């Protein structure tokens, strides 16, 4: 059974950066499509982006262009998401989530065709002055 | 980008009753790439339904999904106390972003 375990809560200053880890156990990490989703306090779920180590591909929501970097270390089965130039609007719980292994890979560099079947426990990021 | 609109925003029901939650897409969701998630306070979302109507592993059969094109429904046949939570639909169609609906809160 695959499990995703995320790093702990972070408190950051305005304008700084945060890097969150998501360590997988079980399964074949390189074949995973790991997505990042965030949830501001009292709000809904917002898709941020995705990394697929097998194809060395990433893609992300347009609103995070230039601020988000997703990487993966296959040797430790860990995915990372770094968000820079933090504002108070970035205060949220950040989740990693694995796509079900029935996904398809599109040549443009993203997965489709399967839902997010395993989620990490979430990482709270608080941004303040 | 496909926008998903869920209704109602809040649904107040009692245990034993039937719940019907709606998710409408701004354009057709191809190949039935539509999922439903349940989220309880302080917890990560949990996959309930994928492919419009397929129950994820371990999900009780009181949960069912239906629909096609732009209109989708999650039905909970007989509410149990543990079903009171927030429910999100999501499309994972053939291009990102893999958007979520804004959620429906199911309350007692």
Q: Which residues of A touch B103 (CB under 8 A)?
A: 44-45
Spatial contact of A44 and B88, defined as CB atoms under 8 Å apart = yes
Rounded to a whole number of angstroms, the distance from the CA of A90 to the nearest CA of chain B is: 18
Closest residue to A112, CB basis, from B47, B50, B94: B94
Please name the residues between 57 and 86 in chain B that touch chain A, using a CB distance below 8 Å: none
- B56 neighbourhood in chain A, CB within 8 Å: 115, 117
Q: Which two tokens stand for residue A117?
A: 């079947």
pLDDT in tens, A28-49: 998 899 999 999 999 999 999 9
pLDDT in tens, chain A (129 residues): 899 999 999 999 999 999 999 999 998 998 899 999 999 999 999 999 999 988 889 999 999 999 999 999 999 999 999 999 999 999 999 999 999 988 888 888 888 888 999 999 999 999 998
d(Cα B42, Cα A69) in Å, to the nearest integer?
26
Return d(Cα B100, Cα B88) in angstroms, integer. Answer: 7
Peptide bond into B99 cis (omega under 30): no
Contact B95 A45 (CB under 8 A): no
Determine which of A47, A58, A99, A116 to mutate to test the interface with B (most B C-beta atoms within 10 Å): A116
Q: How far apart are CA A117 and CA A67, in angstroms?
A: 27
Residues B44-50 have a mean pLDDT of: 98
- Count CB atoms within 10 A of the CB of residue B77: 13
**Which of B56, B96, B101 comes nearest A59 by C-beta?**
B96
């Amino acid at each position: 059974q695959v499990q995703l375990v995320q790093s702990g809560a972070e408190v950051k200053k305005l304008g700084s950066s945060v890097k969150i880890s998501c360590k997988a156990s079980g399964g074949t990490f390189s074949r995973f499509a790991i997505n990042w989703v965030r949830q501001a306090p009292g709000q809904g779920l917002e898709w941020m982006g995705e990394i697929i180590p097998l194809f060395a591909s990433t893609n992300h929501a347009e609103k995070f262009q230039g601020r988000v970097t997703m990487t993966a270390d296959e040797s430790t089965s860990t995915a990372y998401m770094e968000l820079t130039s933090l504002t108070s609007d970035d205060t949220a719980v950040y989740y990693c989530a694995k796509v079900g292994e029935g996904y398809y890979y599109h040549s443009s560099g993203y997965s489709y065709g399967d839902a997010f079947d395993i989620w990490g426990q979430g990482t709270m990021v608080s941004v303040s002055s | 980008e496909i926008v998903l609109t869920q209704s109602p925003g809040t649904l107040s029901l009692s245990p034993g009753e039937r719940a019907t939650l709606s998710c409408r897409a701004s354009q057709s969701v191809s190949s039935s790439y539509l999922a439903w998630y349940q989220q309880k306070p302080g917890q990560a979302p949990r996959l309930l339904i994928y492919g419009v109507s397929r129950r994820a592993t371990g999900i009780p059969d009181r949960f069912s999904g239906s629909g096609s094109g732009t209109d989708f429904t999650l039905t909970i046949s007989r509410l149990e106390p543990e079903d009171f939570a927030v429910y999100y639909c999501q499309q994972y169609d053939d291009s990102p972003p893999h958007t979520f609906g804004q959620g429906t809160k199911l309350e007692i």
